Structure 1
């Protein structure tokens, strides 16, 4: 086997492990993501899994990175071509609602980031730091769009982008709970109305 083919196969195997890891973690949490469970699901040995990641923590971090890539692909990329500022922010918000409405098609157990934030908010360590970093990066992106909207005159000059982003995140945490815990079919439209009111007030 050539070194190039060997490297390609190793990369594909790693991708399979991470994809399965995302599916498991969305249902059972990152702590439920065990080397043994992955080995059984994928028909691999534990040593084979460890050969790619070394530790459970490294696997958890890789799983978070993959989930982040999926989230950006589903929520950010469909809106990326819109005019920066309020038009793009509204497109992102609508894609975010759609993502949460259909998240079980993407993550079997629902939004991995919401699960991970609850699972690790009272812990220390690298995984908690990674979860917090990804949430901060997303909020920073929202703040950036809000600032562009203020600069363009789409929102009043006195708008506080940090405050509006804070409230936006709250809306979507509430939407995730309403869908996941209560299976509320009205939650997406309630969120749209709340979003319209928030941006109008801003």
Structure 2
């Protein structure tokens, strides 16, 4: 037993420097990606470069290359970091609401808050990046498209769940309604940036509320209940 303890202690001592380097590397990566998502939300993913980030963060270019390997590697890591922020900011809290109209509205309101509060300086990170890469095939566009598909699928599923609990007219096409609702959000983000005003977000909230009221009132109409 004493020999086993000695071996374990020796192993832990040998591992400690390596673990410390891993932790420092993780901290460095988080700092870099936090800066990268802010830059990309304003200037686009094409505006990212390892050299620029190294200068702005007073780090060595070779050190950053060791973390990301290439500009595309940096861009893909930035998308993953932005997705994690989006999930934590918009989705996690809303999914605590029981399935139904309330959850759907919570998701849409959380998105409008995230965009209008400028969680990213340039508004919604993904709106900016998707406009930039929509017509440019490759790994970056694929990663953005996958994230966009996830968001639209979540809204579609939330609409379907609201139909299942009787909150929304079951005759409404869930995919089409989700497309409309997401379009209101995207329009508010773009027009707010162009106008330098939060008024488009108020307009989007009203539009979302009116559309949801229309499909929920239809589910409770006397003719349907008969």
- The question of a shared fold, defined as TM-score above 0.5 by the shorter chain, is answered with yes
SS in structure 1 of the partner of residue 97 of structure 2: coil
**Counterpart in the other structure of 1:90:** 105
Distance 1:196 1:67, change over 3 A: same
Shift of 1:144: 0.8
CA contact (8 A) 2:115 2:189 kept: yes
Question: Which residue of the partner structure matches residue 88 of structure 2?
Answer: 73
- State the structure with more CA Rg: 2
The answer (yes or no) to whether the contact 2:189–2:201 under 8 Å persists in 1 is no
**Residue deviations 1:136-192 (CA, integer Å, cap 9, x gap):** 000001111111001111011101110011101110111001211112332222111
1:118-197 pair list within 5 angstroms: 118-197=131-210
Q: Name the CA distance, whole Å, in 2 between partners of 1:123 and 1:29.
A: 13
RMSD: 1.2
| 1:16–1:185 Cα change, 3 Å | closer
Structure 1 residues 114-157: Cα deviation after superposition (integer angstroms, max 9, x where no partner) = 11111001101000000100000000011111110011110111
Query: Displacement of 1:61 after TM fit?
Result: 0.6
2:39–2:48 CA contact under 8 A, matched in 1: yes
Q: Classify 1:132/1:46 alpha carbon distance in 2 versus 1 (closer, same or farther; 3 Å).
A: same
- The worse-fitting range, judged by mean Cα deviation, of 190-199 and 31-40 is 190-199
Deviation of 1:85 after TM superposition, in Å, equals 2.1
Structure 1 portions without partners, runs of 5+:
none
Secondary structure at the residue paired with 1:2?
helix
Report 1 or 2 for greater relative contact order, CA contacts < 8 Å, sequence distance ≥ 6: 1
User: Can you give the 5+ residue segments of structure 2 that lack an aligned partner in the other structure?
Assistant: 1-15, 216-226
Whole-angstrom CA distance in 1 between matches of 2:122 and 2:206: 26
* Secondary structure, aligned partner of 1:157: coil
Q: How does 1:38-77 map to 2 (within 5 A)?
A: 38-77=53-92
Aligned pair count?
A: 200
CA contact (8 A) 2:192 2:198 kept: yes
**Which among 18, 35, 44 is matched to residue 29 of structure 1?**
44
**Quick check: 2:192–2:199 contact (8 Å CA) kept in 1?**
no
